[in-house]
Structure 1
C-alpha cells in the first residue's frame, strides 16, 4: 500500500482549511494527525479516502481504503447485521474468487502468478477467519452483538464501536481513523492498540489520545499553523518527543512575534517623531527665504522616508501565535457558606432507564463533593459514569436515594455528547456569540448567574472571534466541544462536572485544560477514559464503578 499527497489543498468558499500537504504513507507507517479543532483533521481524512475533492494538489493511493468517521449516519432501518454482513460480503467475495480460480485452474497453461496473487491476498485478509474475527472485534470493543438491533436506536458511541469492529475485521490496505478512542474503555483501547501495531498496511489516525500516540504512532503530523504557515511533520515517534519539539517551536514563535510587535511600535514612534519635525524642529527662523524652507522640508521628508524603508526592510511578517487557554479564576465558595458543608451530595443513588434497565445502582454509597473538592470517576463503558455525573448535576431522576445541593451553588456541566445544534433547532442559525448570550439570559432567569461574574467567551482562548461569529452548525465537532466547555464556564461555577472532557479536543488544549483543573479553586468532578489524564489526576480521590 502506498499513499502520497502532493501540495494538497482544500477550502470552503472564503475559508481555506488545508494547504501545502505533502505526505507519504506506506505499509507499516502509522501516522498520527493532531491539531487544533477546526484545523482540518477530519477534512484531511476525507481527502485521503476520496470522499472530498481537493481544491488543488493531488492524492495518489493504491490498494483498499477504510474510513471510520467520528459519527455514523445510519439510514432508517439499518441494523448491526447490515454492517456486519457488508463487511463479510467483501471478504467472502475474495474467498469465492480464489475458490473459483483454483477449481478452474489450467495446470498446463494457466497463469500461476494470478492464482498466487489471489492466494496472497486471501491470506492477507484471512478470509477463512472472517466470521470469528468480526465477532471477536465486536466483543473486545464492547459493541452491540445483536445483529437485529437498529443503528438508529444506538448511541453515537455504540454505533462507532460497531463500525470500528467491522473496519478492523476488513483488514484494508489503508485504515483511516477519526478519534478512535473517544468511545472506548481501557479494555477496548488495549485491543485497538494491538490491532493497529500489528496492522500490515498503512494507518492514519486523527486522535487527541496522547497515550495512543505514544503506543502506536511512528510519526506525527501537526496541522496547526506554524510560523511559516505550513503543517509540520515530526518524524520521531512518541508523544513526549513531539510535545517537547512543539513547545520549543511555540516558544521561539512567541518570542519572535513579541520582538516584531515591539519593532512595529518603535517604527510608529519614529515616524511620528519624524513627521512632527516637519512642523516644528526643521522650521527655520522667521524671515528666512521661502525656497530655503521648502528645501529643508523636502530633505526632512526624504530622511523620514529612508527611515521608514530601512525599518520596513528589517521587519519580518510574523503571524499571530495560536490561542492559549485562559482559564477563568473560578470561586470556591460564596459568602455565608460553611467550609465543612458539601456543595453537592448523593446518597445511595439508583437510576432506572425507561426500558427498565438499571443505569446506576450504588446502595449504601455516599458521595459528597466539598468546596474545592476533587473526584475522579472511572470504570468500563456501561457502568454508569455518565449517569452518575447526570445524577450529581440533577439531570437524572433518582428512583432511590437522595441528592442535596447547597443553595446558590452554581454548576458547570459538560456532558459526553455535546449539545450540538440539531437541524431546525433553536441554535441552528445562531452564531457562537448569540448562543452564548442566550445561555446567559436563561441562567439569569433561573437565578443561576451573577451579572458581575460573567465569563466573556472571547476571553477564554477557546475559540477565535471569527469562529464565534459563525453559526454553530458550521463548527467542527471539536469546535462545538470547545463551545460546550465555554458554556460551562459562563457563570463562574463553584463546581465543574466534566464527562469525558478530552473527547474531540486537541492534544494542546487537553494539556492546558489538565493543568487548569489541577489548580482551579472550584470543585471538579471528572469522568474520563483518557489514560494520560487519569495519570495526571492520579492523586485525586477515585470512585470506581463496575
Structure 2
C-alpha cells in the first residue's frame, strides 16, 4: 500500500498525490503519458527510490521486471536463473532439513507446518520446471551457458521475465511486459497473470493486456484537479470511455474559461483607455469636476478588475492532442500504377553470418496510398524487412527500387541515435538541414515539430538525453513526419507510447493519404488494421 506518494527529480516534479492499494488478486494497470512517472512509481513501490512525501508499506516477497536489463561480462543465462530461484531452493532445503531433524514426539509441529505451507504456496519443488516452461513459452534463450552480453535487449528481457514468473512472488511489478513478446508469449503471460495469486502492478501501453487482465486502471496523466485518477471498472474500453468523457469536459471548460477571461479583459482594457477621453467634461469646466469624474472611471475599472480576479477559475491546460499533418500520396508526374517503393527477393545476412531475412521469390510493393501490415513471431525478420525497405540495411540479394523523388519516413525500434546535449528543437533543425541538402525536403512542405502535439515546447528545449524513452519515441515519430513523407515505415509503433497517443495514431494512419507499412505485435492495433493487406513472416512448419 502506498499513500499520498510524491517524488521529484532535481528541478522536476514527477509524482504527486498517488495512492496505490494492491491486495492478493489485484491486477493494477498503470497508464499515462510519457514522462508522467510510471516507471518511477514502480521504483518507489519496490523500495529502490524513497518518496519525497508519503509512505509505502509492503508485505511478502517482491519481484520486479524493468524494461532494460544490464549484461555484465561473463554473466550467463544460468546465473540469472540460479539467482532468481535461490530463495525458492533455500525454502526446499529448509524443509528437507526440518523433516530430517523432526522428532515426532517432541518436535514443533506448528513450525514444521509453517515451512511446509510456504513450500506449497510457492510450489518451490517445481521451480526449475516452471523456469524451463516459461523460457520455452516466452521464446527465451534456454542455453544456461549463453552469456547475456550475446543476447539482444528483447532476449534478455524474456529471460528475466521467465525467471520472475517462476518465482511466484507475493507482489509482481512489471514495466512494459509485452514490448518484446510475440503472440505465443503474450498468451502465456496473460494466462500467468490471470492465475497469479498475489498482487500485480503492470505499467503497460498494451490495450489488449489491460482488457484481458486489469481489475482496475491507475492513470497518472494530470486530471483537471492535478491528481491521478483510479478507474475501478475492469476493461480497457470502460476506462477509455470514462477518460474521453472527462478530457472532453476539461477541454470545453478550458476553452470557456479562456473565452470568458479574454472578454472581461477586453472590457477592462477599454475602460482604462476611456480614461484618456470619455471622462473629460466640456472645455472650460473646473479641474475639480475633471478629477471627480476621473476617479469614478478608475473605480469602475478597478471594480471590473476585481470581478475578473474573483470569478476566474484556474483551469490547467488540457493534455496534448496529436495533430497529424496533411501528408500526400504522390508527386507530379508519378503513375498511380507505379509503386512508391518495392523490394524483390530480399536477403539480409548479419556480419556474424546469420541469416536475418530471406524471402526468395517474394515481391513487396507499396503503391501510392498503399497499406501493409507486417506480422510474425520474434526473430522472423519484421524489423529487418522494414530496415531494408527504408534503405538502412543493404541487401545481400535482391533489389530495392524507389520512385524518383519519393520521401520515406521511418521509425525503428531502436530509434535514431541521440546526440549528447542537443535539444529537440536543435536536433529537428539539423535533420531538416540534412534532408534539404540531400534534396529530400521541400522547404514549402516542412512540419514544425511543435505543431504535432507530440512534445511540449518545454520538452523540446531540453537535451534529448534527458527525455524518457517514450518522449524520445515521440520525437522519432515527429522526425519521420518532418519532410511530409509519401511513405511511412513504422516498426512496433506502439512501443513506449501512451495508449492515448496509440489510439490517436492508429486513427491517423487509417486515413492519411500517404502509404503506410506497419510491423507490430500489438494485438489491438492488428485488430484495428485487420482490413489491411498482411505479410506474415512466420516460417511455415
TM (normalized to structure 1)?
0.97
The answer for the alignment partner of 1:480 in structure 2 is: 472
1:442 aligns with 2:439: no
- The 5-angstrom pairing of residues 267-282 of structure 1 reads 267-282=264-279
* Paired residues of 1:348 and 1:361 also in contact (CA < 8 A): yes
Q: How far apart are 1:109 and its partner, in Å?
A: 4.5
SS of the residue aligned with 2:110? helix
- The 5-angstrom pairing of residues 140-179 of structure 1 reads 140-179=137-176
Q: 1:64 to 1:420 in 2, by over 3 A?
A: farther
1:195 aligns with 2:192: yes
Q: How far apart are 1:355 and its partner, in Å?
A: 2.2
The answer for the alignment partner of 1:213 in structure 2 is: 210
Rounded to whole Å, the distance in 1 between the matches of 2:73 and 2:44 is 27
SS of the residue aligned with 2:30? strand
SS of the residue aligned with 1:7? strand
* Paired residues of 1:80 and 1:147 also in contact (CA < 8 A): yes
Q: How far apart are 1:502 and its partner, in Å?
A: 0.3
Rounded to whole Å, the distance in 2 between the matches of 1:121 and 1:417 is 42
Rounded to whole Å, the distance in 1 between the matches of 2:96 and 2:377 is 43
- The 5-angstrom pairing of residues 35-434 of structure 1 reads 35-421=32-418, 427-434=419-426
Query: How many pairs are equivalent?
Result: 538
1:466 aligns with 2:464: no
SS of the residue aligned with 1:349? strand
Q: How far apart are 1:492 and its partner, in Å?
A: 1.0
SS of the residue aligned with 1:21? strand
For residues 224-248 of structure 1, what are the alpha-carbon distances to aligned partners after superposition, in whole Å with 9 as ceiling and x for unaligned? 0000000000000000000000000
The answer for the alignment partner of 2:487 in structure 1 is: 495
* Paired residues of 1:221 and 1:231 also in contact (CA < 8 A): yes
The worse-fitting range, judged by mean Cα deviation, of 291-300 and 251-260 is 291-300
Rounded to whole Å, the distance in 2 between the matches of 1:343 and 1:175 is 47
For residues 273-306 of structure 1, what are the alpha-carbon distances to aligned partners after superposition, in whole Å with 9 as ceiling and x for unaligned? 2112222222222222222222222222122212
Residue ranges of structure 1 left out of the alignment (5+ in a row): 422-426
Rounded to whole Å, the distance in 2 between the matches of 1:226 and 1:110 is 59
* Paired residues of 1:432 and 1:472 also in contact (CA < 8 A): yes
* Paired residues of 1:173 and 1:202 also in contact (CA < 8 A): yes
The answer for the alignment partner of 1:32 in structure 2 is: 29
Rounded to whole Å, the distance in 2 between the matches of 1:292 and 1:102 is 107
Q: 1:301 to 1:106 in 2, by over 3 A?
A: farther
The worse-fitting range, judged by mean Cα deviation, of 358-367 and 158-167 is 358-367
The worse-fitting range, judged by mean Cα deviation, of 399-408 and 125-134 is 399-408
The answer for the alignment partner of 2:502 in structure 1 is: 510
For residues 363-418 of structure 1, what are the alpha-carbon distances to aligned partners after superposition, in whole Å with 9 as ceiling and x for unaligned? 11111100110000111111111111111112222222211111111111111222
Rounded to whole Å, the distance in 2 between the matches of 1:525 and 1:252 is 35
The answer for the alignment partner of 1:534 in structure 2 is: 526
* Paired residues of 1:462 and 1:486 also in contact (CA < 8 A): yes
The answer for the alignment partner of 1:424 in structure 2 is: none
The answer for the alignment partner of 2:517 in structure 1 is: 525
Rounded to whole Å, the distance in 2 between the matches of 1:106 and 1:418 is 64
SS of the residue aligned with 2:326? coil
* Paired residues of 1:500 and 1:528 also in contact (CA < 8 A): yes
The answer for the alignment partner of 2:9 in structure 1 is: 12
For residues 197-219 of structure 1, what are the alpha-carbon distances to aligned partners after superposition, in whole Å with 9 as ceiling and x for unaligned? 00010000000100000000000
Q: How far apart are 1:103 and its partner, in Å?
A: 2.5
* Paired residues of 1:420 and 1:480 also in contact (CA < 8 A): no
Q: How far apart are 1:150 and its partner, in Å?
A: 1.5
Q: How far apart are 1:110 and its partner, in Å?
A: 4.0
* Paired residues of 1:493 and 1:522 also in contact (CA < 8 A): yes
SS of the residue aligned with 1:322? coil
Q: How far apart are 1:441 and its partner, in Å?
A: 2.0
Rounded to whole Å, the distance in 1 between the matches of 2:224 and 2:393 is 47
Q: How far apart are 1:58 and its partner, in Å?
A: 1.3
SS of the residue aligned with 2:173? strand
Q: How far apart are 1:106 and its partner, in Å?
A: 4.3
* Paired residues of 1:9 and 1:21 also in contact (CA < 8 A): yes
